[in-house]
Amino acid sequence: MAVCASVKPDFSKTINTTCAYCGVGCGITASVSDPDLHLVEIKGREDHPANYGRLCSKGSALGETVSLEGRLLHPKIHGKTVVWPEALDEVTRRLQETIQKYGPDAVAFYGSGQLLTEDYYVANKLMKGFIGSANMDTNSRLCMASTVAGQKRAFGSDTVPNTYQDLEMANLLILVGSNTAWCHPVLFQRIRAMKEQRPEMKVVVIDPRKTDTCDIADLHLPIRPGTDALLFNGLLSWLAEQGTIDLPYIEKHTNDFGQSLEVARASFRDYSQLSELCGLDQETVLQFFHWFSTTEKTVTAWSQGVNQSSSGTDKVNGIINCHLATGRIGLPGSGPLSLTGQPNAMGGREVGGLANQLAAHMDFLPEDIDRVGRFWGTTNMARSPGKTAVDLFRAIDRGAIRFLWVMGTNPVVSMPDGNSIIKALKKCPTVVVSDCIEKTDTTALADIVLPAAPWSEKDGTVTNSERRISRQRALFPLAGGSKPDWWILTQVAKRLGYSDAFDFASSADIFREHAALSGFENNTAGKIRDFNIGTKASISDNEYESMDPFQWPVIEDKSQQRLFSAGGFYTDDRRAKFVPTHWQKAANSINAEYPLLLNTGRVRDHWHTMTRTGLSPRLNQHTDEPFLAIHPEDAGSVQLQDQMLCKVSSEFGDAIVRVKHSEAQRVGEVFMPMHWTRQNSQSGFCGVLVNPVVDPVSKQPDLKHTPVKLEPFYHTGNGVLFSREQLSFTDVEYVTEVRSEHGFRYELAGSGLDKLSVLSDFNKRFEKIEYVDAQSDFQSDFQFDGCRVLWLDQYQVQAIWMSGEGRSACDRQWLQSCFGKSVTALEAWYFLSGTPPKGEDAGRQVCACFGVGENTICRTIRENSISDVSVIGEILKAGTNCGSCIPEIRQLLLNIN
């Protein structure tokens, strides 16, 4: 049962690998000092072309997230630990029985952009080549399916024409629906550095919110959600009017320009109406149009604000149309560039991870099915596309899919209409989940859980947003009974009777086959496929082990950096296609009952459902609670003060979150982060609110456009509990757990706080010091307006409880620090004040790399009359490592000066 690795990793040396998080795909140099204790120092890899040594706050903190805490280390069936053969037999038995009784389309795999390409390849091969169904979709459907669909419509293939270098070479950079500063931070650092070097470089940000990305913007277009396609229709019309289209390029390399221009022109009356529909001021719109039409070196980069939309595919094509019309594509500093969300969403696309793809960028055309079938040596190929994410879970709900295998993702949290996903999974006769974390909202509903190897233990390849394939290498041996996903899948495939086709001994074996398929009958009979790494099909194990990052396609051993500047698209006639984009309003509009629009997204220091970033104390400090950002004008109309708790409701569910007044929000629109789950918050997750509307072409859900209503969350008590131990609360309506360096913090509100058994338990176990505000209105032992309790054991603070006024006023960062030292009873009294001595009130963390708080920065600015971010860096180091906090420091400077 051992996993064969052809080349044995050496865990005692410096290892080059790739970051676990976003699609930037930064190279990392990891120095393992103790493989048994999982001690590793993480640095940016100096020679990796994605980051050249840089890392963001998340990447820098990876070393804090590799402990075995919370890991799933052994297979379990209905909660009972079993050995691997038993688990694999049971998965196989259930899979076989379901197929025999209900047919192959009654089973489904749901994968993830966290899987390595080799894992993805095996999963896709098993489902589409041997089980004979195409029900293999992935959480990448939630991430970039609209870009895939848009690129395929325009280029005939899912090809990203440009590279990261072009972001730096552009004279005009347009960032659409992308908070690059937080979601692709290293690219943002590269852009910022270039803009500092070349101040004449212009940056336009098109985003409903004034995000940190606007820190480098020359122009911000706070666009009305859902109108991006209209804006780019306007731009196409403007370009034609101004005579700045590239007619020779259009005529030589494209089709359907005239029709697209006609549709674009027909979608608005004049630029005044267009601006009004987009919620923008006309002068700003025309300034943007003017810059685009007069700047040869223009890059348009986009992300989830474009993709996660009921018109996401049209938005993508609207952008691409403007680049095709100007011939600005695949040139140094010119072209469209999709910024992928997940670390290996691109790798998944390469092997057919989406239900409407086959493998190696092939579709369900008869010749593709035949070709892949012959290559795999199977006659049981899936013949048509399978169910895409939203439809897949609906099919489970109605009993059409009866066996689901989820790999490395948490759909209960990330899918829209989360309550319906829970309902579906509860009905599904078999739910198998492969994950490295034991307790997630999805494993809670699994019949069988399988321990998959996480980042730092698995080994294979990933592809970033610029088509660059990099090795992700193991830093430590596999922990407990963990196994790579590809191994788990091959074991099941062999049990199903497909031993020959799944006889892989290592990830290198799989990579070779994947590479061979990409080159198989590629460029024959006049048909060329874009994805081609066929020359890598015969690399040795040692070559795979030492493989340096490279971009696909590789033609005659040479990576192609940019594509399409001289045409050569992957359509039948090798010409690109302009796609007419008939603009329509977003699918779900606000109404009298739900008058506000909910947008969702990420925060700076967290990733997805926090299973990894949640383990790092410093990454938990910048944004410590789930929140709802709302314009003060809207907040006033529903009596929501800053920092109050509010109940958010949509047609689909409810959540309770902290209110954050923000002038960065457009009036009428609110924002919630996507990261919190039932594992760290009782009611602060947004997936239950989000509508399941999908884009008609890409089937990507519109996660950024749900009508909601708000009301204050009325509660009888609230408090904050700091504890050395991790605790759980079942009967409190609002609970959020925040990890700190020496323990945990719980923000609590609702009924039942006066009866918290954990507080009584502390009373029994520890020495108690209590402060009661004489003015307070006594209600019970622990809940009155000003109760503060501290529990000590052997000079060590064990827990602190503050309710009412004390909760609001206490300095959380300072109180968390008291758990790291011995204190006298007298000092303990001081902690009960909740307020640190002058100079020690660091305040909310701004710089995660050096743990520098807001108050410290503000004091330093005032005391030294500082007006420049770099001086803050010289004095406090803040902003000098990953740079993610620079926009915030700049804002503090502006507020003070």
Segment near ligand SF4 (CB under 6 A), from 23-31, 128-136, 166-174, 796-804?
23-31
The reply to whether 750 sits near ligand SF4 by the rule CB under 6 A is no
Question: Phi and psi (nearest 5°) for 508?
Answer: -65, -40
The reply to whether 61 sits near ligand SF4 by the rule CB under 6 A is no
Minimal distance, residue 24 CB to ligand SF4, in Å: 4
According to the 3-state scheme, what is the secondary structure of 558-589?
A: EECCCCCCCCCCCCCCCCEECCCCCCCCCCCC
Segment near ligand SF4 (CB under 6 A), from 181-189, 373-381, 756-764, 833-841?
181-189
For ligand SF4, the binding residue among 21, 498, 569, 594 (CB under 6 A) is 21
For ligand SF4, the binding residue among 25, 418, 614, 719 (CB under 6 A) is 25
Minimal distance, residue 342 CB to ligand SF4, in Å: 10
For ligand SF4, the binding residue among 15, 30, 40, 55 (CB under 6 A) is 55
Burial of 78 (0-12, 13-18, 19+ CB in 10 A): exposed
The reply to whether 222 sits near ligand SF4 by the rule CB under 6 A is no
Minimal distance, residue 648 CB to ligand SF4, in Å: 28
Segment near ligand SF4 (CB under 6 A), from 24-32, 171-179, 491-499, 660-668?
24-32
The reply to whether 792 sits near ligand SF4 by the rule CB under 6 A is no
DSSP at 156: S
- Our measurement of the distance from residue 394's CA atom to the centroid of its chain's CA atoms, rounded to an integer in Å, reads 23
Q: Which of 51, 311 has the CB closer to ligand SF4?
A: 51
Minimal distance, residue 792 CB to ligand SF4, in Å: 40
Distance (Å, rounded) from C-alpha 50 to C-alpha 332? Answer: 16
Segment near ligand SF4 (CB under 6 A), from 54-62, 681-689, 789-797, 843-851?
54-62
Give the three-class secondary structure for 788. Answer: strand
Segment near ligand SF4 (CB under 6 A), from 48-56, 66-74, 235-243, 328-336?
48-56
Distance (Å, rounded) from C-alpha 41 to C-alpha 43? Answer: 7
Q: Which of 327, 883 has the CB closer to ligand SF4?
A: 883
The reply to whether 345 sits near ligand SF4 by the rule CB under 6 A is no
Q: Which of 41, 241 has the CB closer to ligand SF4?
A: 41
Minimal distance, residue 61 CB to ligand SF4, in Å: 10
The reply to whether 301 sits near ligand SF4 by the rule CB under 6 A is no
Segment near ligand SF4 (CB under 6 A), from 21-29, 264-272, 376-384, 711-719?
21-29
The reply to whether 63 sits near ligand SF4 by the rule CB under 6 A is no
Minimal distance, residue 30 CB to ligand SF4, in Å: 13
Minimal distance, residue 62 CB to ligand SF4, in Å: 8
Question: Phi and psi (nearest 5°) for 205?
Answer: -110, 125
DSSP at 673: E
Is the Cα torsion angle 41, 47, 50, 55 positive or negative in sign? Answer: positive
For ligand SF4, the binding residue among 15, 26, 407, 412 (CB under 6 A) is 26
Per-residue burial over 348-362, b = 16 or more CB atoms within 10 Å of its CB, e = otherwise: bbbbbbbbbbbbbbb
The reply to whether 329 sits near ligand SF4 by the rule CB under 6 A is no
Q: Are 36 and 29 in contact (CB under 8 A)?
A: no
Burial of 34 (0-12, 13-18, 19+ CB in 10 A): exposed
Distance (Å, rounded) from C-alpha 233 to C-alpha 227? Answer: 10
531-560 residues in contact with ligand SF4 (CB under 6 A) are none
Question: Phi and psi (nearest 5°) for 25?
Answer: 70, 50
* Non-local CB neighbours of 788 within 8 Å, separated by 6+ positions: 770, 771, 772, 800, 801, 802, 803, 806, 832, 834
Minimal distance, residue 884 CB to ligand SF4, in Å: 8
The reply to whether 24 sits near ligand SF4 by the rule CB under 6 A is yes
Minimal distance, residue 186 CB to ligand SF4, in Å: 4
Distance (Å, rounded) from C-alpha 843 to C-alpha 813? Answer: 6
For ligand SF4, the binding residue among 49, 129, 132, 185 (CB under 6 A) is 185
The reply to whether 30 sits near ligand SF4 by the rule CB under 6 A is no
How many chain residues bind ligand SF4 (CB under 6 A)? 14
Minimal distance, residue 140 CB to ligand SF4, in Å: 16
Distance (Å, rounded) from C-alpha 338 to C-alpha 566? Answer: 20
Minimal distance, residue 346 CB to ligand SF4, in Å: 13
Distance (Å, rounded) from C-alpha 737 to C-alpha 746? Answer: 5
Instruction: State the DSSP string of 523-570.
Output: TBTTB--S---GGGTT--HHHHHTPPPEESPEETTEE--S--TT---S
Minimal distance, residue 391 CB to ligand SF4, in Å: 30
Distance (Å, rounded) from C-alpha 549 to C-alpha 117? Answer: 14
Distance (Å, rounded) from C-alpha 240 to C-alpha 856? Answer: 53
The reply to whether 19 sits near ligand SF4 by the rule CB under 6 A is yes
DSSP at 158: -
DSSP at 660: E
Instruction: State the DSSP string of 798-823.
Output: EEEEEEHHHHHHS-HHHHHHGGGSB-
Q: Which of 95, 615 has the CB closer to ligand SF4?
A: 615
Minimal distance, residue 137 CB to ligand SF4, in Å: 24
Q: Which of 565, 613 has the CB closer to ligand SF4?
A: 613
Q: Are 864 and 871 in contact (CB under 8 A)?
A: yes
Q: Which of 21, 671 has the CB closer to ligand SF4?
A: 21
Minimal distance, residue 184 CB to ligand SF4, in Å: 6
The reply to whether 175 sits near ligand SF4 by the rule CB under 6 A is no
Segment near ligand SF4 (CB under 6 A), from 32-40, 56-64, 86-94, 831-839?
56-64
Distance (Å, rounded) from C-alpha 288 to C-alpha 441? Answer: 44
- Going by their DSSP bridges, the two strands 554-555 and 558-559 should be labelled as antiparallel
Q: Are 381 and 128 in contact (CB under 8 A)?
A: yes
The reply to whether 22 sits near ligand SF4 by the rule CB under 6 A is yes
Of 769, 775, 785, whose CA–CA distance to 829 is shortest?
769
The reply to whether 59 sits near ligand SF4 by the rule CB under 6 A is yes
Minimal distance, residue 215 CB to ligand SF4, in Å: 16
Q: Which of 372, 849 has the CB closer to ligand SF4?
A: 849
Tokens found for residue 531: 């994805």
The reply to whether 186 sits near ligand SF4 by the rule CB under 6 A is yes
The reply to whether 145 sits near ligand SF4 by the rule CB under 6 A is no
Q: Which of 16, 723 has the CB closer to ligand SF4?
A: 16
The reply to whether 56 sits near ligand SF4 by the rule CB under 6 A is yes
DSSP at 653: -
H helices of 810-868, in order, are 812-817, 825-832, 854-864
The reply to whether 847 sits near ligand SF4 by the rule CB under 6 A is no
The reply to whether 455 sits near ligand SF4 by the rule CB under 6 A is no
- First CA to last CA across the chain, in angstroms? 65
Q: Which of 22, 852 has the CB closer to ligand SF4?
A: 22
Question: Phi and psi (nearest 5°) for 382?
Answer: -65, 140
Q: Are 369 and 360 in contact (CB under 8 A)?
A: no
The reply to whether 58 sits near ligand SF4 by the rule CB under 6 A is yes
Residue number of the CB closest to ligand SF4 reads 59
Q: What is the binding site for ligand SF4 (CB under 6 A)?
A: 19, 21-22, 24-26, 51, 55-56, 58-59, 184-186
